[in-house]
Structure 1
Amino acid sequence: MPLSPPAPRTPSHVRRVTYQGFQREDGLWDIEGELHDSKAYDLPSLRNPGRTRLAGEAIHHMWLRVTVDRELVVRAIESAMDSHPLAGCPEAQRALQAMVGCSMARGWRQSIQTHLGGVAGCTHLRELLFNLATATFQTVSAAFKSQGDEPPRHLGQCTGWDFHGQGVKEHYPQFYGRATKAN
Structure 2
Amino acid sequence: MPLSTPAPRSHLHNRHVVYRGYRREDGLWDIEAELRDTKTGDFTVSSERVWRGGEPIHGMAIRLTVDSQAVVRAIEVAMDDVPHGACPAAAPPMQRMVGSSLARGWRRSIDQHLGGIEGCAHLRELLFNMATAAFQTMVDAVLPADAPPPFLGKCKTWDFDGETVQRIYPMFYQRRHERVA
Residue 178 of structure 1 is matched in structure 2 by 175
Deviation at 1:142, TM superposition (A): 4.5
Residue 159 of structure 2 is matched in structure 1 by 162
Deviation at 1:152, TM superposition (A): 2.7
Residue 25 of structure 1 is matched in structure 2 by 25
Residue 144 of structure 1 contacts residue 152 of structure 1 at CA under 8 Å; is this kept in 2?
no
Residue 69 of structure 2 contacts residue 142 of structure 2 at CA under 8 Å; is this kept in 1?
no
Deviation at 1:138, TM superposition (A): 0.8
Deviation at 1:155, TM superposition (A): 1.2
How many residues are paired up? 179
Equivalent-residue separation in structure 2 for 1:167 and 1:117 (angstroms) = 37
Q: In 2 relative to 1, CA 79–102 (structure 1 residues): closer, same or farther, beyond 3 Å?
A: same
Equivalent-residue separation in structure 1 for 2:127 and 2:25 (angstroms) = 24
TM-score by length of 2: 0.91
Residue 16 of structure 1 is matched in structure 2 by 16
SS at match of 1:17: strand
Deviation at 1:131, TM superposition (A): 0.8
Residue 145 of structure 1 contacts residue 152 of structure 1 at CA under 8 Å; is this kept in 2?
yes
**Once the two structures are aligned, what percentage of the paired residues are identical?**
55
Equivalent-residue separation in structure 1 for 2:2 and 2:142 (angstroms) = 30
Identify which of 129, 132, 157 aligns with 1:131. 129
TM-score by length of 1: 0.90
SS at match of 2:166: helix
Residue 66 of structure 1 is matched in structure 2 by 64
Equivalent-residue separation in structure 2 for 1:143 and 1:164 (angstroms) = 25
Residue 35 of structure 1 contacts residue 61 of structure 1 at CA under 8 Å; is this kept in 2?
yes
Q: Which moved more, 1:172-181 or 1:96-105?
A: 172-181
Residue 68 of structure 2 contacts residue 142 of structure 2 at CA under 8 Å; is this kept in 1?
no
Map 1:10-159 → 2, pairs under 5 A: 10-46=10-46, 49=48, 51-142=49-140, 145-146=143-144, 148=146, 150-159=147-156
- Structure 1: runs of 5 or more not aligned: none
Equivalent-residue separation in structure 2 for 1:19 and 1:153 (angstroms) = 18
Q: Deviations for 1:25-83, whole angstroms, at most 9, x for unmatched residues?
A: 0001101100001112212245x74x421111111000000011111110100000111
Q: In 2 relative to 1, CA 64–108 (structure 1 residues): closer, same or farther, beyond 3 Å?
A: same
Q: In 2 relative to 1, CA 144–169 (structure 1 residues): closer, same or farther, beyond 3 Å?
A: farther
What's the Cα RMSD here?
2.0
Deviation at 1:146, TM superposition (A): 3.8
Runs (4 or more) in structure 1 with deviation over 6 Å come to: none
Question: Amino acid of the residue matched to residue 43 of structure 2?
Answer: L
Equivalent-residue separation in structure 2 for 1:151 and 1:3 (angstroms) = 34
